[in-house]
Amino acid sequence: MPVIDIHNHFFPRTWPDLSARYGTPDWPWIKHTETGKAEIMVGDRFFRQIYSACWDPEVRLQEMDRDGVEMQIMSATPVLFAYDRSAEHALDCARLFNDAALELCAQGKGRLKSLCQVPLQDIDASCKELSRCMRAGHLGVQIGNHVGDKNLDDPGIVTFLHHCADEGAAVLVHPWDMLGQPRMPKYMMPWTVGMPAETQLGIVAMILGGTFDKLPRKLRLCFAHGGGSFAFLLGRLENAWKHHPVAHGLCELPPSQYLNRFSVDSAVFDPRALQFLVETMGAERVMLGSDYPFPLGEHGIGSLIRSSQLPEKTKTRLLGANAMEFLGLKSELKAPAAEPIPSVSTAPIVPKNEQLTYSSYLKVAELLGLQHPQSTPHHHDELLFIIVHQTYELWFKELLHDLDGVVASLQAVAADPSSHDDVYEAARLLRRCTEITRVLVEQFTILETMLPTHFLAFRGKLEPASGFQSEQFRELEFLCGLKDEKMLRYHRPTPEAHAQLERRLREPSVHDVFFQALQALGKLQVSIDATERERFQARARAVLSLYQDEHSHRDWIDVCERLTEFDELVVSWRLRHIQLVERVIGARVGTGGSTGSSYLKLTLDKKFFPELWEARTLLAE
Ligand code: HEM
């Protein structure tokens, strides 16, 4: 189970003297006091004691291992926001720390990721810096909950949040610059009292300011420290909203109806508070956040969630599954096979007290907003072209999901060869895969209602996009065992897809686990020094031995038949695709640069499970 901590901080080991760089006093600086220890100073004022986990990836990774954390999403510290400085200096400062974050991530063995910071007093500069950072590898941005007197409903900040949604950037809102400080000079009260109030203010300002009615639903927003005092006082807010028109603000719905628009982290330090938070926000809206490695952070990251009375399924969500969805990390970390986590786009996200409807469950509005024809003037058949491709991709997603299930079942058999249930489960899922693929073969006929002339009218708009870039199709090939590394080159422009395919290359395929299971069953023996050909023959003979003893191996023969049928249907898919291609573009070259149908014909010989076919040749009459 991936454990992902979405709220923790870093400081680089050193950075330039900012006061000298900008010619203004009181910028934060780091004073190393002894090995592995340092103090953050703001001008002459002591701000915070820190230790090497802040800047040393090795120490951080060791502590993550100790606490069973797979990934951390690091942010800078609000003391560096500089929203009250000149925008030019704040931007320069943001760039320094954003680049430093990526340097740390680069040494993090893929387990450290980061959120950038932006000069939020300048919206244009913030949007530009966010775009730069997203291209450079940040997963999103950490912002403060206000900029001077401007709360999060400020039109400029709303514009920035729009931009975050467009860029697919996750947003973590962190309280800072706490209110009422003259009355809280002692006892860390700005942290223990001011911060929760600031966070509550941030959320309430967004709700009552009507920002959630304006912002797209795809915006991924999380508030630190469990959302501060918000959840506990939601009833008070709701009461005011219902009974006092003046408390209505600009929002269209009662405040409690907006809980499905943001998440909170789990940094509340009390099991009862966590339980209440999950009940209020919903299990899909709370994520592990530790505030590590600061003094007020969670010692033993994730221990609050792990030791809580929450159901195991909920703990899985809080510890990592929700973060995977929130951060769009589906492709980098594998969710547990036993508890598949629906992706953001399919999760039924409704507030606890809002009734689920057909449309909200299926995300119909979002789905119907995903077709964007490119032709001008608009060409009637382009919509069909888009919808047919999108439908294929949806079914590819289901196929990957089911084939992952097949891998998990066969792995279970390899671990315990007496487990008949897992063999049946593999066969059951494979049957679904063959039925889906049958539909996919048929579906080309719909596209063939498009005349070649009509396609050529908008084909020019598609270049250089090509089926070669269908990540899921290639994933399917890799997952079934056809791992051609060369095909990765078509995914260089999309690093996420590239990383996902690299992962598939490394992971066991259906082919691998099928034969591992036969080996565990005692059907397959291969000597270490066998040649590739001899190994292939041994695998084919293992299949043969199943068919030869039908009475004892009905369940396995069913798996073999389903795999063979799937192989057969994928070849049918390739053939129908070629026929479609020839019908629509003749012998033209492809938009992906191949020779078109003559190239595609070469793929017809590809088989996922050639041993299953070879076994048929070996069968005696
Ligand atoms: C007008 C309809 C279509 C035409 C003209 C067409 C054309 C082509 C061509 C020429 C190629 C070779 C690569 C290249 O140079 O671009 C290709 C590959 C591919 N196409 Fe299509 N295609 C069409 C519809 C579809 C549909 C509906 C799908 C469904 C997902 C699809 C999926 C693919 C895939 C996955 C590949 C890569 C195949 C491989 O590498 O083995 N195509 N297509």
176-190 pLDDT tens trace: 999 999 999 999 999
Encoded tokens for 25? 């006093």
pLDDT tier at 332 (50, 70, 90 boundaries)?
Answer: low
Partners of 40 in beta bridges = 30, 48
What value, to the nearest 5°, has the Cα angle with vertex 314 and ends 311 and 315? Answer: 85
Mean pLDDT of 161-189: 95
Residues 6+ apart with CB under 8 A from 253: none
Q: What is the pTM of this model?
A: 0.54
- 94 Cβ contact list (under 8 Å, min separation 6): 82, 116, 117, 118, 119, 129
* Ligand 1 atom 34: residue of nearest CA: 467
When pLDDT is cut at 50, 70 and 90, the band that residue 419 belongs to is confident
**CA-nearest residue, atom 2 of ligand 1:** 581
CA atoms of 276 and 304, how far apart (whole Å):
13
Q: Which residues line ligand 1 (CB under 6 A)?
A: 388-389, 392, 447, 455, 466-468, 470, 473, 577, 580-581, 584-585, 590-594, 596, 599-600, 603
> What is the DSSP code (8-state) at residue 41?
E
342 pLDDT above the threshold of 70? no
Residues of the chain with pLDDT > 70, as a percent, come to 95
Query: For position 375, what pLDDT does the model report?
Result: 85
Q: What are the Cα distances from residue 195, in Å, to 23, 57, 176, 255? A: 30, 28, 7, 21
Q: Single out the residue of 477, 394, 496 nearest to residue 439, CA to CA.
A: 394
Does the N-terminal peptide bond of residue 495 adopt cis geometry, omega within 30 degrees of 0?
A: no
Q: Which residue has the CA at smallest separation from atom 26 of ligand 1?
A: 389
Backbone phi, then psi, for 177, in 5-degree steps? 45, 65
Q: How confident is the model at residue 245 (pLDDT cuts 50, 70, 90)?
A: confident
Residue 353: per-residue pLDDT: 45
Tokens 């999108």, residue? 390
- C-alpha to C-alpha distance for 139 and 324, rounded to whole angstroms: 11
Q: What is the pLDDT of residue 330?
A: 65
> Could you tell me which residues come within 8 angstroms of residue 32 by beta carbon, excluding any fewer than 6 positions away?
38
Q: 467 alpha carbon to ligand 1 midpoint, in Å? A: 4
Q: Which numbered atom of ligand 1 lies nearest the CA of 468?
A: 37
Please count the other Cβ atoms lying within 10 Å of the Cβ belonging to residue 525: 10
Residue 439 pLDDT more than 70? yes
Q: Is the pLDDT of residue 335 over 60?
A: no
> Residue whose CA is closest, atom 31 of ligand 1?
467
Alpha helices in 68-113 (DSSP H): 87-106
pLDDT of residue 493: 84
- Which residue among 393, 572, 581, 589 is best mutated to probe the pocket of ligand 1, counting the most ligand atoms within 8 A of its Cβ? 581
Q: How far apart are the first and last CA of the chain?
A: 50
Least Cα distance to 121 among 154, 98, 87, 160 occurs for 87
Nearest-CA residue for atom 17 of ligand 1 = 467
* Structure tokens given for 338: 């036993």
Mean pLDDT of the chain: 93
Task: pLDDT band for 543, please (50, 70, 90 cuts).
Answer: very high
The rounded Å distance from CA 581 to ligand 1 centre is: 7
Predicted confidence (pLDDT) at residue 366 exceeds the cutoff of 50: yes
> Which residue's entry shows tokens 């909950």?
145
Atom of ligand 1 nearest to the CA of 393: 30
Closest CA to 53 of 43, 65, 42, 41: 65
Among 466, 475, 501, 588, which residue has the most ligand 1 atoms within 8 Å of its CB, making it the best to mutate?
466
**Å from CA of 443 to ligand 1 middle:** 14
Measured in Å, residue 396 CA sits from the centre of ligand 1 at: 14
Six-digit token string for 551: 């009475």
Q: Please say whether the beta carbons of 402 and 433 come within 8 A.
A: yes
Size of the chain in residues? 621
Rounded-to-integer distance, Cα 333 and Cα 186, Å? 43
* pLDDT > 90 fraction of the chain, expressed in percent and rounded: 86
Residue whose Cα lies nearest atom 36 of ligand 1: it is 467
Which of 397, 468, 475, 575 should be mutated for ligand 1, with most atoms under 8 A from CB? 468
Q: What is the pLDDT of residue 337?
A: 40
Q: Are 394 and 370 in contact (CB under 8 A)?
A: no
Q: Which atom of ligand 1 is nearest to the CA of 594?
A: 15
pLDDT of residue 334: 52
Going by C-beta distance under 8 Å and a sequence separation of 6 or more, which residues neighbour residue 418? none
Mean pLDDT of 598-614: 97
Q: Which of 491, 600, 601, 604 to mutate to test the pocket of ligand 1 (most atoms within 8 A of CB)?
A: 600
Q: Can you give the pLDDT at residue 372? A: 86
- The one-letter amino acid code at 409 reads S
Please report where in the chains the tokens 């809002």 appear, as a residue: 354
Residue 195 parent element (H or E): helix 195-208
Q: What would the mean pLDDT of 335-348 be, rounded to a whole number?
A: 39
| Nearest atom of ligand 1 to the alpha carbon of 603 | 41
Place of tokens 């909200």: 360
For residues 213-241, average pLDDT:
96
Closest Cα to atom 7 of ligand 1: 581
Ligand 1 atom with least separation from CA of 585: 5
Separation of CA 390 and ligand 1 centre (Å): 13
Distance CA 142, CA 126 (A): 12
- Tokens encoding 230: 């918000």
- Residue 345 confidence (pLDDT) above 60: no
477: three-class secondary structure by DSSP: helix
Secondary structure of residue 118 in the 3-state scheme: coil
Q: Residue 620's pLDDT is what?
A: 78
